[in-house]
Structure 1
């Protein structure tokens, strides 16, 4: 009986992961339409430019088309960066036609435009139409008798239902659409994003100044995060612990004056001073744990995260597979990333959360998933901005997937260090 229950839970978890993956893939495919449709229109503009170039009109359209190309490529980089590793842009490409013909960045963007405006557009349309087709065709046996005669039965415009057998066949076609959604949409998503990730990123032949600029930006973010952390610690010590210690000093002075006058009154004041000292000590411990939790040294990352899960107001499951220890600063960053993520989970009314940690090939990967209402935005000024800065300070990557309605998945990858 217990084995059957475990198997049922395993099947349920697998089904849940499959549904979440398919839902995220559909959302990503549809979001790709936002750049694929303009890419198709821009392809037509380039075709008109090439045809009319001998007449002189194309030479006037070329700068406009090139500027539109670079802007659209920038939008695609930003979209891919929101749903995966950041796509680092190369240097500013030229907008003059003669220079653009020999510029490698422009040629790569044109190759991306051709693929994204054709195959990417087709995949985006499939991502939009497949769920509608699945719902329409699966439910067709329930309403086919009310359809006008000679109306096409399937969503793709072929077949006419004359009997229950035809209606059931259409329903089976809808079930097939569901199977395609569950099985193929994650691969379709990767196929749609692959040209952008390969062709729009800075290639190995790009100037190292791009990498220097990126490292300068991450260093500035690390310094900002460090300054913010110091201000937080200063406020915690000044507004909490210091006031408690001042109160202890005042109470001890009052007790000293009361010893000769009224010893019973002095005992009451000393009791209040002891209580204030205990509160100050508790606040000091809280501040010290926020700097570097001692549990990381005592029990490692797995034990520290288990402690976070135990204190979380939202039920949280921890799954850690990290046979090798990482650098102390990396483990501390991982700890605070999970702590901030769980705080955000509690704020957004989720019912449960899962934290998975994997250490492979010198990289530490953290995945925090919750079943909240979704819609999280790392650029919206929330605690996710602090998480992104902590991760960037270690030259790591952060990926956030949070479609409206949930679930929200936060994935951070950090180099383990030495």
Structure 2
């Protein structure tokens, strides 16, 4: 029960933050709308055309502020770019009509909801402290915002405050997050880039993805070459040397031949073991034998830190995607065991709507950085090569949450 209450209050507080931050852009939108309306009226009268371009730039600036706010909430809404300075360019800008529509919505609905977000904490504090001021004028105060009963004794005042606590927890957890989504909805709906802009952005994104894929491929080839050169090749050279020495010893000192052959056999076995390890790193055979779910379960079972598992990957992905998922989890759990100082970890993998979502969480000391050039950087390159996304949350003191999403093509 208590975890659910804490979770509900947490969602409510996050919703309050969004409402209050949305009030800032709503106030800017309201001020801009107040300036835009006279400009439109003047244009209808034929005397306001010179003010159209400056007003359009003001609308774009406010819309970009909202795009930045929504980006912090997880919505990727790239700006169409600077507004043209000529009247002709403004009138042909395809994003401007949607931005004006958003301006009208956010300056009215968004402003009212943001104002509610500012006033709500004050109302909550007033209601929860009812027991401290119920004797003050006016006489016979009601149960404040909920208006239930009147207080004549301290016990009644305490009951009213307790009732207010329950009521506001329900409102925080159930209503405020919805109001925050309603406030952000016009921006997510109307501030999306024009399809032509989106196509250009997609071309840039695919170009970057292709470069990442080529880099990841080159790095993987270098890793395989280094493993073969520094490991298996040296072992096989040792086998050759030992066999040559054994051949010469047959005529000179036959008693040493058996020892040399034994050493040669050990070197050959080591070379075979290293070759198997290299081949498994290219495409782990456990994926073909047990599937992705079985392979990930095995990684969790062999983790150096106790790891809980929650898997829902009934279907199959492309072999390269499953190999990348296996590598991501293996590297993540290795990092947890080596660097995090964690006592436990959790692994979840879900396959939904053609997207494979992987999440590795640990209770360590945090402070991980995906840009530090460590194994996390290798994870990022592999994920980007598949046009996937990586999200790392690791505040100092923990917990660390690594979330990866991969398109599960066939």
TM-score by length of 2: 0.72
For the Cα contact (< 8 Å) 1:161–1:167, is it kept in 2? no
Separation in 1, partners of 2:244, 2:8: 65
Aligned to 1:358: 350
Aligned to 2:17: 30
1:75 aligns with 2:68: yes
For the Cα contact (< 8 Å) 1:43–1:113, is it kept in 2? yes
Among 76, 79, 83, the alignment partner of 1:87 is: 76
Distance 1:173 1:110, change over 3 A: same
Separation in 1, partners of 2:293, 2:161: 51
Among 76, 96, 117, the alignment partner of 1:106 is: 96
Matched residue SS, 2:349:
strand
Separation in 2, partners of 1:298, 1:59: 66
Matched residue SS, 1:319:
strand
Distance 1:243 1:104, change over 3 A: same
Distance 1:88 1:62, change over 3 A: closer
RMSD: 4.8
Distance 1:322 1:207, change over 3 A: closer
Separation in 2, partners of 1:385, 1:129: 45
| More deviation, 320-329/109-118 | 109-118
Q: Count the aligned residue pairs.
A: 395
- Equivalent residue runs for 1:237-386 within 5 Å: 237-253=228-244, 271-346=262-337, 347-372=339-364, 383-384=375-376, 386=378
Separation in 2, partners of 1:24, 1:404: 22
Aligned to 1:223: 214
Any unmatched runs of 5+ in structure 2?
A: none
1:226 shift after superposition: 1.9
Separation in 2, partners of 1:121, 1:384: 42
For the Cα contact (< 8 Å) 1:301–1:331, is it kept in 2? yes
1:391 shift after superposition: 3.8
Separation in 2, partners of 1:261, 1:25: 87
For the Cα contact (< 8 Å) 2:29–2:62, is it kept in 1? no
1:103 shift after superposition: 2.3
TM-score by length of 1: 0.71
1:417 aligns with 2:394: no
Distance 1:324 1:375, change over 3 A: same
Aligned to 2:58: 65
Separation in 2, partners of 1:28, 1:227: 45
Distance 1:48 1:245, change over 3 A: farther
For the Cα contact (< 8 Å) 2:109–2:183, is it kept in 1? yes
Any unmatched runs of 5+ in structure 1?
A: 1-10
Matched residue SS, 1:104:
coil
